Amino acid sequence: MALPSSGQISFADLNVERGLSATTEADLATAGTDFAVSYATDGTDVLSMDEFYGLSYGGGSTVTLTVYMKDTATIKRHFILYAAVNAGPPVDVYNTNSGGLLTGTCTQKFTIDSGLAAGDTVTFSTSTTITMAGLTVNCPNVLGSNTTYTTVGLVTGANTVYLTVKSDTNV
C-alpha cells in the first residue's frame, strides 16, 4: 500500500509502509534512503516529508548493473577496473589478468547484482590512469582525458552501462 498522496505523513506511516512497527524510532535520512528519495546530503537540498507523497516501499527490490566493455588501444594492456558505490571505497570488479584483455568489440563482461539500491551512483576507475568513457547505450569512442565514469542514479530492476577504455594511454 502506498503512502498518502496528500495531507500529513508521519514517521509511523513511513515505518508501517516499510514493514516496521509504527513506534519504531525513525529518522528522515534513513527513510529517504529506504524509499530511494533523491536529495543532497550536504544540506543544499533538504529532505522533507512531502517528498514521500504517494511512494511505496520497494524493500528487497532488485537493482542490477550489467557492464559492457571494449578497449580501443592498439596494444592492449592489463589493468583492474574498480567500482565505487555512492563515493564509497572502490572494489575490484574486473581484472584483465584473470578475465582476459578486452577486445575492440563491445561485449558484456560482468553484472553487479548485490549491494545496489535504487538511486545509487557507481563510479568506475582503473588501477592505472587510462582514459575511459561511458554511456547507458552502446560503447562510446574514447574522447578527452576522463579517467573515471560515474553512472546516473540507478533504478529498480536492470541497469546497463557501456564503458570504453584505451589501455595504452597514461594520463
The secondary structure of 60-112 as a DSSP string is: T--EEEEEEEEE--SS----EEEEEETT---EEEEEHHHH----SS-EEEEEE
Contact 147, 115 (CB under 8 A): no
Give percent of the chain above pLDDT 90.
Answer: 42
CATH number given to 63-166:
2.60.40
The confidence score (pLDDT) of residue 42 equals 58
Chain-wide mean pLDDT for the chain?
A: 85
For the record, the C-alpha cell of 17 comes out as: 509502509
Residue 61's pLDDT band (cuts 50, 70, 90): low
Q: Strand 63-71 and strand 157-166: pairing? A: parallel
Contact predicate 150/85, CB 8 Å:
no
Q: Where in the chain is the domain with CATH 2.60.40?
A: 63-166
d(CA 103, CA 71): 6
Section 67-92 average pLDDT: 94
Q: Determine the distance from the C-alpha atom of residue 10 to the mean position of all C-alpha atoms in its chain, rounded to a whole number.
A: 29
Q: Is the pLDDT of residue 156 over 60?
A: yes
Q: What is the pLDDT of residue 35?
A: 75
The pLDDT > 70 percentage for the chain reads: 90
Model confidence pTM above 0.85? no
> What pLDDT score was predicted for residue 59?
54
Q: What is the mean pLDDT of residues 11-37?
A: 81
Give the pLDDT band (50/70/90) at residue 69. Answer: very high
